[in-house]
Structure 1
Amino acid sequence: MSASGKPPEFPTWPQFDDDERTGLIRALEQGQWWRMGGNEVNQFEQEFARYHGTEYALALTNGTHALELALQLLGVGPGTEVIVPAFTFISSSQAAQRIGAVAVPVDVDLETYCVDPAAVERAIGPKTKAIMPVHMAGHVADMDSLTKLSADSGVPLLHDAAHAHGAQWHGRRVGELGSLAAFSFQNGKLMTAGEGGALTFPDAATHEEGFLRHSCGRPPTDRGYFHQTSGSNFRMNEFSAAVLRAQLRRLDGQIELREQRAPLLSRILGEIDGVVPQGRDERCDRNPHYMMMFRIPGITEQRRNIVVDALIERGVPAFAAFRAIYRCPGFWETGGPELSVDELARRCPNTEALYTDCIWLHHRTLLGTEEQMYQIGEIVSDVLGVA
């Protein structure tokens, strides 16, 4: 609770209204509920592609499958390596590991929490087939450095843009940055249908191959079961697409409001002794703010978790930050590098700090009022004083 004694009442998530209801009825009544017979997925792909500055998008079952399919399109498989941030949700690495590749974790920048280009450069080797920057919490990674590094090394980039719907770097949206980009529509994401994902493409040929592979290798006009490539069923259904079309229409307004609230909340949190908010590179000139992230340097993981629980009890939707992927048992089941956890920890000191001392607040907090930003600051300050 705040000093007023009342917990803040933030907007709920997911948000929906008659737009979603209308879309669901429209999908229902068209009589065809899968993409090959309906029109909602096709329309959503066109709208999502246009919104992100490209002509080509493919709607998929979820964001993890989007990464997996994109990696296959880049030729990733057994005997290859993919460079991923050590500080990310584990789907970034598991998408590579599930198709037989080795995931190579590298450290992140302690200001933006995005992958450190210098660490990426050190990790590139003869088996490196892809570099996967993650646009952490909506902040675009250093694409100037990464694009040059990709061009110099010949290793393609794959954007994990699960947090970055509508983000911009130098005024360019993710679809304009010249690489494959994977998005997620999981329940907590900036636009959602409960689950879902998408890929955006820089060219028609890669999009066409992606379509084949997301539909069991089968062209849309095929009637003779001539499966032209290997693949799987990663097709999005019509109901999800109908919901996402409505979600996309309100995204700009939500981003605009979060961009107003985030600097205020960052300043308020930064004035609390011991709190360091996530920074921002001004070249990222539009941050959709999937999370409001901040650190408490020097805190132990156990105490950080106590702080998170206390914030939740007082009405602030808080979460512990992602665990270093190499500190998760699942990371080592298949496709782990020939390095020990201790060796990776020594190479990733910033990740070691973040997974221990970082907290994130749900992006719905940034859809609240200015007064609620001050309430959050009061609650965080109070909790840190007693936790």
Structure 2
Amino acid sequence: MDGIPSQPLEFPEWPQFDDTERAGLVRALEQGQWWRMGGGEVDAFEREFAEYHGADHALAVTNGTHALELSLEVLGVGPGTEVIVPAFTFISSSQAVQRLGAVAIPVDVDLETYCIDVAAVAEAITPRTRAIMPVHMAGQFADMDALVKLSADADVPVIQDAAHAHGARWQGQRVGELGSIAAFSFQNGKLMTAGEGGAVTFPTTEQYESGFLRHSCGRPRGDRGYFHRTSGSNFRLNEFSASILRAQLARLDGQIMTRQQRWPVLARLLNEIPGVLPQATDSRADRNPRYMAMFRVPGLSEQSRNELVDRLIEGGLPAFAVFRAIYRCSGFWEVGTPDMSVDQIAARCPNTEAIYQDGIWLHHRTLLGTEEQMHLVTQIIADALAAL
């Protein structure tokens, strides 16, 4: 087909690793204690991750979904409460709410940045609202200035879903410096990974201590009498994963620098393709780690978008359809849903309706390629779109 280069595009593989990870695994193995209560890797990773993100405290957990669930639980989310989430996001954002017995309230997102619409959040706040959960989509910060003000005015805390935002900055401030809890993911495709894993950063010692208890079955440090002080679950990260994450964190800055250099080139070239709109960048988000290279083809049907993704994959690109609107997933409706129909929510979320049908993303390893490859990527997209 048109658009397939004469030589296959060879982007850097993901995950990336070297002898640093190998040494870490051996270090964890030979310390003789493989869980966090006896070893030192998890403790060291938490200190390093907190410092890197400007947070007072970090708590490593089993995965990003558990990071969200734990964050919500620390803020008292449970039966009888509501949490406002973006309608366009990976479904863990809503499932973490629902698994605690609370109701997830989807609201629309901005048509250009794909992040939560603050005006829609304001309209959705009720006396039952216990938290607002913006997602920093693909590394692009949600409007934290407006969200912080709304949070203060409404007396409703923010939880940052920062699963895509390792190393991101908003007007010079790191994720942990914005005064709210933030949840991160280390799933296999994320910007740093141990296959699975997650972390929560806390702005206060009180929240951190509550999180620590709840991530360890409510059991205090050093407990020998099984005094389970709170409810909770076992969300403890193991020592082997932590040793890998320490190595991943050490090379994150260099990878972010490369992606920040490549995205402006790719975005400019995508803008030159008729009908293609790359995800917009808010200038206040002065460091975007670029978890995904996202773009839309407005007016494309969902079926045509899926055909386009297939053509891009055939052309050698690691391409994917974007997330479905969460309210258009049957799993969303199993428990903890608002008293509205799919159509009623969709009518309130026109931007989400558009994005989930005509949006595409490329894996961030694309942006670890060369500048020349950005031109080849664009040519493949242009040719595939023309072939439709």
TM-score between both structures, scaled by the size of structure 2: 0.99
Q: Give the equivalent residue in structure 1 for 2:106.
A: 105
Assess, with a 3 A threshold, how the Cα gap between structure 1 residues 4 and 99 changes in structure 2: closer, same or farther. Answer: closer
- Residue 338 of structure 1 aligns to which amino acid in structure 2? D
Q: Give the equivalent residue in structure 1 for 2:215.
A: 214
Q: C-alpha separation between the residues in 2 aligned to 1:324 and 1:134? A: 14
Q: C-alpha separation between the residues in 2 aligned to 1:158 and 1:55? A: 16
- 1:2·1:8 contact (CA, 8 Å) conserved in 2? no
Q: C-alpha separation between the residues in 2 aligned to 1:116 and 1:289? A: 20
Q: Give the equivalent residue in structure 2 for 1:265.
A: 266
- State how 1:106-145 maps to structure 2 within 5 Å: 106-145=107-146
State percent identity of aligned pairs.
Answer: 72
Q: C-alpha separation between the residues in 2 aligned to 1:4 and 1:341? A: 42
- The offset of 1:221, in angstroms, is 1.2
- Residue 77 of structure 2 aligns to which amino acid in structure 1? V
Moved runs in structure 1, 4+ residues, more than 6 A?
Answer: none
After superposition, give the CA deviation of every residue in 1:238-273 in whole Å (9 maximum; x if it has no partner). Answer: 000000000000000000000000010000111001
Q: Give the equivalent residue in structure 2 for 1:165.
A: 166
- Residue 371 of structure 1 aligns to which amino acid in structure 2? E
Q: C-alpha separation between the residues in 2 aligned to 1:7 and 1:323? A: 30
- The offset of 1:4, in angstroms, is 4.5
- State how 1:238-317 maps to structure 2 within 5 Å: 238-317=239-318
Structure 1 vs Structure 2 CA RMSD:
0.8
- 2:5·2:315 contact (CA, 8 Å) conserved in 1? no
- 1:3·1:378 contact (CA, 8 Å) conserved in 2? no
- 1:169·1:284 contact (CA, 8 Å) conserved in 2? yes
- State how 1:325-364 maps to structure 2 within 5 Å: 325-364=326-365
After superposition, give the CA deviation of every residue in 1:76-114 in whole Å (9 maximum; x if it has no partner). Answer: 000000000000000000000001000000000011000
- The offset of 1:278, in angstroms, is 0.2
Q: C-alpha separation between the residues in 1 aligned to 2:5 and 2:124? A: 51
- The offset of 1:54, in angstroms, is 1.3
- The offset of 1:5, in angstroms, is 1.8
- 2:3·2:381 contact (CA, 8 Å) conserved in 1? no
Q: C-alpha separation between the residues in 2 aligned to 1:140 and 1:30? A: 39
- Residue 174 of structure 2 aligns to which amino acid in structure 1? R
- The offset of 1:55, in angstroms, is 2.1
Q: Give the equivalent residue in structure 1 for 2:205.
A: 204
- Residue 277 of structure 2 aligns to which amino acid in structure 1? V
- Residue 56 of structure 1 aligns to which amino acid in structure 2? H
After superposition, give the CA deviation of every residue in 1:192-248 in whole Å (9 maximum; x if it has no partner). Answer: 000000000001111011100000011111111111111100000000000000000
After superposition, give the CA deviation of every residue in 1:294-338 in whole Å (9 maximum; x if it has no partner). Answer: 000000000000000110111100000000000000000000100
Q: Give the equivalent residue in structure 2 for 1:381.
A: 382
Q: C-alpha separation between the residues in 1 aligned to 2:85 and 2:197? A: 22
Instruction: Name structure 2 gaps, 5 residues minimum.
Output: none
- The offset of 1:143, in angstroms, is 0.2
Q: Give the equivalent residue in structure 2 for 1:21.
A: 22
- Residue 18 of structure 2 aligns to which amino acid in structure 1? D
Q: C-alpha separation between the residues in 2 aligned to 1:325 and 1:192? A: 25
Q: C-alpha separation between the residues in 1 aligned to 2:252 and 2:137? A: 18
Q: Give the equivalent residue in structure 2 for 1:320.
A: 321
- Residue 175 of structure 2 aligns to which amino acid in structure 1? V
- 1:79·1:101 contact (CA, 8 Å) conserved in 2? yes
SS of the aligned residue for 1:207 comes to helix
Q: Give the equivalent residue in structure 1 for 2:67.
A: 66
Q: C-alpha separation between the residues in 2 aligned to 1:126 and 1:204? A: 27
After superposition, give the CA deviation of every residue in 1:334-373 in whole Å (9 maximum; x if it has no partner). Answer: 0010011001001000000000000000000000000000
Q: Give the equivalent residue in structure 2 for 1:154.
A: 155
Q: Give the equivalent residue in structure 1 for 2:77.
A: 76
Q: C-alpha separation between the residues in 2 aligned to 1:228 and 1:377? A: 56
After superposition, give the CA deviation of every residue in 1:26-78 in whole Å (9 maximum; x if it has no partner). Answer: 00000000000000000000000000001200000000001001101111000
Q: C-alpha separation between the residues in 1 aligned to 2:296 and 2:3? A: 21
SS of the aligned residue for 2:114 comes to coil
TM-score between both structures, scaled by the size of structure 1: 0.99
- The offset of 1:283, in angstroms, is 0.2
- The offset of 1:6, in angstroms, is 2.0
- The offset of 1:3, in angstroms, is 6.5
Q: Check if 1:32 corresponds to 2:30.
A: no
Instruction: Name structure 1 gaps, 5 residues minimum.
Output: none
Q: Give the equivalent residue in structure 1 for 2:89.
A: 88
Q: C-alpha separation between the residues in 2 aligned to 1:342 and 1:3? A: 40
- The offset of 1:181, in angstroms, is 0.2
After superposition, give the CA deviation of every residue in 1:153-195 in whole Å (9 maximum; x if it has no partner). Answer: 0000000000000000000010000000000000000000000
- 1:162·1:182 contact (CA, 8 Å) conserved in 2? yes
- The offset of 1:7, in angstroms, is 2.4
SS of the aligned residue for 1:84 comes to strand
Q: C-alpha separation between the residues in 2 aligned to 1:106 and 1:179? A: 20
- Residue 240 of structure 1 aligns to which amino acid in structure 2? S
Q: How many residues align?
A: 387
Assess, with a 3 A threshold, how the Cα gap between structure 1 residues 4 and 325 changes in structure 2: closer, same or farther. Answer: closer
